[in-house]
Structure 1
């Protein structure tokens, strides 16, 4: 069952005739699944791509290998590429891209601990970038990140 913030985001997107698409790494399709269960999903949800593995980031979404090498797959820079490429691919009004670390591993470091999430949103008006460290289990981190993404979209359209 989608949270109230996700349901509200879908409702407001519909009321303003906008659609939305997703490029999901850390959330692995969970954001798309949450939006697909809203009352207005057929009117607003365009689609998405799960780009968990570097192969998908590079080969499908054309993120340059040197960008991933320089900044890591879980970074603001890679997330921006994912958002821009997915927005073009889906011709979406709003495109949310999300990367990060919900569990140990990946590019985890003192500067980038588990819970670090990068969100980039392409909108009809501008590009929004957000980074935040969430706490909890991997599932809690993912769900908090999804709600934060919906909150950021709402802040733009409200």
Structure 2
């Protein structure tokens, strides 16, 4: 029995998300988080050396554990100035689903993944999230300001 749900709500990811939810956002493999929401994650959770040590590639997900909460970093492109391909974005979501299942994550809060500086279309992002996570026992909440 799948309990997958996906909703989008207006609010601040860092303020309004359920404290038990894992968080996720997109970054580049070079781990340069200098703009956008990635900069907010960097300031809040630090951990660049921990992420580097995981040696993750494009299409994979690195993560930190902070105050009993997983922070997932979807690696969707090689360099900070690149744009992710739809294929690499989807690969990173598949890896995220596998990690969520392995770590028994039941709630996931995300920004509008890949749509800001990365320029992916929101409808594409929502479609891929629904396709990848259908059949999974997870509640995903996407926040926008």
TM-score by length of structure 2 reads 0.39
Computing the radius of gyration from Cα coordinates, the structure with the larger value is 1
Q: TM-score, normalised by structure 1?
A: 0.37
Q: Which structure's relative contact order is higher, taking Cα pairs within 8 Å and 6+ residues apart?
A: 2
> Relative to total residues, which structure has the larger strand share, 1 or 2?
2
